[in-house]
Structure 1
Amino acid sequence: MSRSQRDALDAMIRSAPRSETPPTLAEQRNGFSAAFTRPAPEGVATRRTVLGGRPALELEPAEASGPGRLLYLHGGGYVVGSPETHEGLVGELARRAGLRALSVDYRLAPEHHFPAAVDDGLAAYRELLDAGTDPRDLVVAGDSAGGGLSIATLLAARDAGLPQPAAVVVFSPWVDLTLAGESMRAKDGADPLFIEADLHALADHYVGAGDRAHHLASPVFADLTGLPPLLVQVGANEVLLDDAVRLAGRAGADDVEVTLEVGPGLPHVFQLHYGRLDEADAALDRAARFLTTHLSAERSQPVN
């Protein structure tokens, strides 16, 4: 893998100016969209739809075949981001896995506090099942806050008595809104994107005066028993590194099949930089293989 690519990416992220005054909500959302939006890859058709009562973006690779479906929950600290900002990333994962994908525009804070995002994730998941999608043909993925939301959605589904999907993949998941991970301090300065204060502000928007340790806000504190096979990918240069490590440890302790990958020298959701960072392309390939392998394994099991 290329050290020069990693160094160039780190320098690019650090070059983004930090305002001396906190940006407005509109400025945060516009800035995130400008920095991270990439179009769907060639050969992936997109169309707007509705899922679980929320707008959604459907992405269908030309080579998609079979009944497999991917439900994706985007990142953005529960405050910014949309299916459009993540169109490229979701399209790349869907293309590599050969799966049709649905990316949900769940409600954002501060207009909609916790548990609105979880309610929307659960409603989307429930509608897929109600529409006839076999859970053995369904996989879930998300990045950053969307990674935490993916785990929370599956916990809510489990608690509602719904079947679990075949697998779940999370990129740099934010799963502890109490910010208790040691890397929150130890990786200060190594992380080119976040400082602890940034995440405090996002948690304030999402949870407000609520319980930040609630298991659906901070799934690292949940009992994960019964969740499907889990792949966690994270960069070593992240203040959220310990969120990923502790999530994997919690999953293993609760008898969940889990794979943890830590990318040396890599930043938060490095997968966004596919096409210009070798590690991003390799990670997306592994994530796609993980999803398709577990879809095939589930299909080989008899129906209970």
Structure 2
Amino acid sequence: MSVLRPLLNGYLRLVEKRKLARTRDVHKIRRDFAKTARLLFRAPRGTQITRSRLVGAGEVLRVTPAQTRSDLVIFYIHGGGFVFGSPDTHGAMLGALAQRLGAVAVLPYYRLAPEAPFPAAIEDVAAAYQALLDSGVSAQNIIVGGDSAGGALAFNLLSRLCAASGPLPRALFSFSPLTDFLHEGASFRENAAREAVLPAAQAGLMAEMYLAGADPRDPDISPLLASYPGAPPVWITVGSTEILRDDARRMAAHLRDQGVSASLEEEHDLPHVWPIFHNTLPEARVTLDALARWITQVPPTATES
């Protein structure tokens, strides 16, 4: 592990986690995170990041590396507890992954809670996925990804596609996904103090804003309760000290129980969604390298439903 890991964890725990824990104003949370992203996160040189609109859906952020050599498209759903974050805050990280793959990334803008609670976000994501297909991109060339709350939405999308018999993406990956809205994983309590980013109480509050009275046991909400018949390969990574560690562990086991090829990479004491710190944290770059290798090894599906 690098010397930067404990330094970053210490800063996040003492500054960012405390700030998030005491803030109830979602507009301030959004402004603060957007400012942090502009200051700290940079895409590789030559990356083009532009807004565009998909016919039949809303706006997306398109991230194109300096050199493209692949037909793959990364369809990435940003995190932020369903109440903050945007494609703009995550575009630099996707630029780093896109560079490794020589592929384009597309990040949909979805409506946020509490202004637009469930099911607004998943409806927007599903519409953007369908619009991407309608634009001529083959499902077998789409890699779906997401982090944290965006990981939940990625699995929500996958379960919907499986239920409708496709067309399914080639693969799905997720950084530190939320998969259980009941927060029944032991790590939600055991790691509450060690977690570097997410205050456990705030995570529950944001989930409540998103649910707005909807049942957290609904399989369309909690990925851990959904079915994934015929799902493509899945790759998940999580830090050992995250409150969502057991969400990732149980999700990987849940997928395997259904015959899905699911890889789980659990890393020691890394912060929530650490690949976003790719500009400064060596472990973030190692993880992006590993993910890129995994994606390139996933074969295309033989046919599309």
Q: Into which bin does the TM-score normalised by the smaller protein fall?
A: over 0.9
Q: Deviations over 1:149-187 (max 9, x none)?
A: 111111122223321111111000011111111100011
Residue 264 of structure 2 corresponds to: 260
Distance, in Å, in 2 between the alignment partners of 1:215 and 1:156 is 10
Distance, in Å, in 1 between the alignment partners of 2:22 and 2:13 is 18
Distance, in Å, in 1 between the alignment partners of 2:81 and 2:303 is 39
Residue 35 of structure 1 corresponds to: 36
TM-fit CA distance, 1:120: 1.0
TM-fit CA distance, 1:21: 5.2
Distance, in Å, in 2 between the alignment partners of 1:298 and 1:143 is 23
Give the partner amino acid of 2:44.
Answer: P
RMSD: 1.7
Cα separation, partners in 2 of 1:133 and 1:21, compared to 1, 3 Å = closer
Which region of structure 1 is more displaced relative to structure 2, 254-263 or 268-277? 268-277
Distance, in Å, in 2 between the alignment partners of 1:96 and 1:147 is 21
Q: What secondary structure, in the 3-state scheme, does the structure 1 residue paired with 2:33 have?
A: helix
Moved over 6 A (4+): none
Structure 1 stretches lacking a partner, 5+ long: none
Structure 2 stretches lacking a partner, 5+ long: none
Percent identity reads: 35
In the alignment, is the contact (CA less than 8 A) between 1:68 and 1:100 conserved in 2?
A: yes
Distance, in Å, in 2 between the alignment partners of 1:154 and 1:264 is 28
The reply on whether 1:45 has 2:57 as its aligned counterpart is: no
Distance, in Å, in 1 between the alignment partners of 2:47 and 2:83 is 27
Residue pairs, 1:31-180, within 5 angstroms: 31-37=32-38, 38-51=41-54, 52-180=56-184
In the alignment, is the contact (CA less than 8 A) between 1:166 and 1:298 conserved in 2?
A: yes
Residue 187 of structure 1 corresponds to: 191
Distance, in Å, in 1 between the alignment partners of 2:285 and 2:70 is 24
Residue 229 of structure 2 corresponds to: 225
Give the partner amino acid of 1:104.
Answer: P
Give the partner amino acid of 2:282.
Answer: D
Distance, in Å, in 2 between the alignment partners of 1:286 and 1:84 is 24
TM-fit CA distance, 1:235: 0.7
TM-fit CA distance, 1:237: 1.3
Distance, in Å, in 1 between the alignment partners of 2:168 and 2:143 is 9
Tell me the number of residue pairs that the alignment of Structure 1 and Structure 2 aligns: 300
TM-fit CA distance, 1:302: 6.2
Distance, in Å, in 2 between the alignment partners of 1:302 and 1:245 is 30
Distance, in Å, in 2 between the alignment partners of 1:259 and 1:140 is 15
Distance, in Å, in 1 between the alignment partners of 2:236 and 2:200 is 22
Give the partner amino acid of 1:39.
Answer: R
The reply on whether 1:298 has 2:297 as its aligned counterpart is: no
